[in-house]
Amino acid sequence: MRELVALPESRHEVETIAADLPKPGTILLGAKATKNSFVKLPLGHRTVIRLALHGYVNPEIPDRSALVFVPQQHATDDGLLPIRDIRNLHLNASLVTLSACSTGVGPVGEEGVANIVNAFIEAGSQSIVSTLWELEDHATAYLMITFYGRLGRHEEKAEALRQAQLEMLHSGVQPYYWAGFVLDGDPRNNLFEGNLSSRSSG
């Protein structure tokens, strides 16, 4: 696995989104953003799951691709949430957002693309925002804050992402910094009218 760098903007991103939307069920920040803390949440009752962390893609053995949480000291939790464990999360989320590098990437097999996105769909998520390449921390935070601000104003998921990307385009930001975000699954529905959300930042 490549060396992982800190994501200083992720805390600002998560806290800003939380302030703009109805009070979330749980926010996990810094040292509290461990895999064990995340999987112990009642995730099946969350409408929105928001993750700002690192992603790891293994193109040769897709089931080893993983989201990278903060590892626990003096514990068996290494911080990795691999595809095989994501499939078993028993979710019912309208939207999962993965602000992590290359979460939409994976090899194509007989059953489709083997990647983190499809693992969340298999776990029960209706739609997932993921990425096709590595991210730049500051631009990602700006895009996600704009995206969730539009969701908070009851725009549908796909349109909210499209408008957030157009805003960056019109601001002169190069496509590399925003065009890699894609939405899979159900593109419609307004959010934040049902259950509370869960967000974490590694």
Q: Tell me, what's the pLDDT at 195?
A: 42
Q: Please report whether residue 1 resides in a domain.
A: no
Q: Please report whether residue 39 resides in a domain.
A: yes
- What's the domain count of the chain? 1
Q: Tell me, what's the pLDDT at 91?
A: 95
Q: Tell me, what's the pLDDT at 32?
A: 86
Q: Please report whether residue 29 resides in a domain.
A: yes
- What's the CATH number where 65 sits? 3.40.50.1460
Tell me what the mean pLDDT of segment 145-155 comes to: 90
48 strand-pairing partners: 95
Supply the range of the domain harboring residue 139: 8-201
More confident position, 171 or 74: 171
191 burial (CB, 10 Å; 0-12 / 13-18 / 19+) is buried
Does 116 have pLDDT greater than 60? yes
Q: How far apart are CA 157 and CA 184, in angstroms?
A: 10
What are the pLDDT digits (tens) for 172-200?
Answer: 999 999 999 999 999 887 666 544 455 56
Q: Tell me, what's the pLDDT at 7?
A: 53
Q: Tell me, what's the pLDDT at 58?
A: 85
Q: Please report whether residue 43 resides in a domain.
A: yes
What pTM does this model have? 0.84
Does 156 have pLDDT greater than 50? yes
DSSP letter string over 28-56? EEGGG--HHHHHTS-GGG-SEEEEESEEE
